[in-house]
Amino acid sequence: MIAQAADTLLETVRRESATGEEIQAAARALFKSVRKSSRDEVHEAMRTLAAAFQLTDARRAGFVAMACGALVEGGFDPETIAAPLVERLGPLLDGSARLMEACLERMPQPAKDAEPEEEEDEDGHSKAFEETRRQVSPELPGEAAAWDALEQLWPPMIAVFSASSPWRARARRLRDTAARIADHHVAGHWLRLMLSVSDDEPILVIEPAKRLGMLGRMSGVVDNFQIHVLLMDVFPKSGFFRRRRVPRRVVEIARGNGPQRTAEVVTGTWNLYTWQAVGPDLSLPDPQGPGTPANWIWGEGVPDDIPLFEDHRVILLGPPSYVRAWQSQRMFAHLRASVECTRTLDADEIHQWLQRMAAAAGGS
């Protein structure tokens, strides 16, 4: 039954005379048939529909891709649609980057002494850029088509990358191109974040003042607020009264389970520092002292920006300099994340790690 529904939807979006209402009706029939189909039948239908991703009509290609993305978010295998989506992503990003660069060259440059004043439209886009894009697009029709297609196709790509760490890794080479357009195209912003996510990455976390530490692995983490929440759950505790640092429901949200956000507010436990913050006495700077923000790990940042030391992302924990609070939420609704403690470090191991960091920091 779903095979026939997939064939009908594919035929409908390919037919130039098909109306939006006809396409919507074909999609509703497809989703209705999912409930009566086996997983294998749904996966085969998704493979059939993937042929629509190459349609020149970006809206129709995007509509079918969104339908497939919804099935991925519902638990079906992203492998069925990943290859054709990612195959198209590279050229779309390249074309969009060329259009953006042409627009920026055409835009008038502000005077050197002028204060930056950039008006935004209701979607948060630069009005000057959008006006220039409308002027330049007829001169670069291929690049303009890529820009429009990317607007339609990035949400299902996020669905695939959320569900498949192997495909995130394969597409990571496209992150820099996504970053180039991130200031002007919403797809660039979200794809840059998603393609910066690492999996099974070694981490080292030490709280120097308490001589507590752990080696671990990090996967699926998007931003440093999320790391902070997950560390509050798994980092070793000292003392007899080892109460939870953060409610379990807040941790589950950070892990990718349950609602994407709640009204709860999270209060951070520590200041997070890079390894370069270690002083000659193996301690962290006074959080109230001058110059300390230089080696802070900011919550708004991403794990990929945390400097490596001996092949580990290193996070050093110190007392908070002020109360940091943020909403309990995660960036991507369907992306699973974890920070796992693989081994607790003893005092000697912590001392040796800090000594090596201090020596390297002193020589840098």
Tell me the per-residue pLDDT of 14-45, one tens digit each, with 9 for 90 and over: 999 999 999 999 999 999 999 999 999 999 99
Whole-angstrom Cα distance, residue 178 to residue 188?
4
My answer on whether 36 and 136 are in the same domain is yes
Q: 239 pLDDT exceeds 70?
A: no
- What's the Cα-to-Cα distance from 177 to each of 113, 115, 132, 174, 249, rounded to whole Å? 31, 29, 21, 5, 36
Q: 113 pLDDT exceeds 80?
A: no
Domain count, the chain: 2
Residue where one domain finishes, among candidates 147, 180, 195: 195
Residue where one domain finishes, among candidates 147, 176, 195: 195
- Of 58-72, 120-134, 161-175, least confident by mean pLDDT is 120-134
pLDDT at 121: 57
Q: What is the DSSP string of 142-171?
A: HHHHHHHHHHHHHHHHHHHHHH-HHHHHHH
Q: Count the Cβ atoms, other than its own, within 10 Å of residue 139.
A: 11
Its domain, for residue 162, covers 2-110+118-195
List the structure tokens of 116: 């930056």
My answer on whether 210 and 188 are in the same domain is no
- Report residue 237's pLDDT band, with 50, 70 and 90 as the boundaries: confident
Q: Count the Cβ atoms, other than its own, within 10 Å of residue 302.
A: 19
My answer on whether 174 and 292 are in the same domain is no
pLDDT at 119: 65
Q: 123 pLDDT exceeds 70?
A: no
pLDDT at 220: 97
Element (H, E) at 190: helix 186-195
Q: 290 pLDDT exceeds 90?
A: no
- Report residue 364's pLDDT band, with 50, 70 and 90 as the boundaries: low
pLDDT at 115: 54
My answer on whether 207 and 333 are in the same domain is yes
pLDDT at 124: 52
- Of 94-103, 165-174, 288-297, least confident by mean pLDDT is 288-297
My answer on whether 263 and 313 are in the same domain is yes
pLDDT at 240: 57
- Report residue 85's pLDDT band, with 50, 70 and 90 as the boundaries: very high
E-state strands within 181-233:
201-207, 212-219
My answer on whether 180 and 209 are in the same domain is no
pLDDT at 46: 96
My answer on whether 259 and 155 are in the same domain is no
My answer on whether 186 and 213 are in the same domain is no
Residues 134-146 have pLDDT tens digits of 999 999 999 999 9
My answer on whether 231 and 281 are in the same domain is yes
Residue where one domain finishes, among candidates 195, 218, 250: 195
My answer on whether 147 and 223 are in the same domain is no
Q: 291 pLDDT exceeds 80?
A: no
Q: What is the pTM of this model?
A: 0.88
Q: 63 pLDDT exceeds 80?
A: yes
Q: 59 pLDDT exceeds 80?
A: yes
- Report residue 238's pLDDT band, with 50, 70 and 90 as the boundaries: confident
- What's the Cα-to-Cα distance from 180 to each of 128, 150, 185, 282, rounded to whole Å? 18, 14, 9, 39
pLDDT at 322: 85
pLDDT at 56: 86
- Report residue 242's pLDDT band, with 50, 70 and 90 as the boundaries: low
My answer on whether 177 and 302 are in the same domain is no
Higher pLDDT, 241 or 281: 281
My answer on whether 24 and 102 are in the same domain is yes
Q: Output DSSP code: residue 293.
A: G
Residues 197-233 have pLDDT tens digits of 999 999 999 999 999 999 999 999 999 999 999 999 9
**Mean pLDDT, range 339-356, rounded to an integer:** 97
**Mean pLDDT, range 231-240, rounded to an integer:** 86
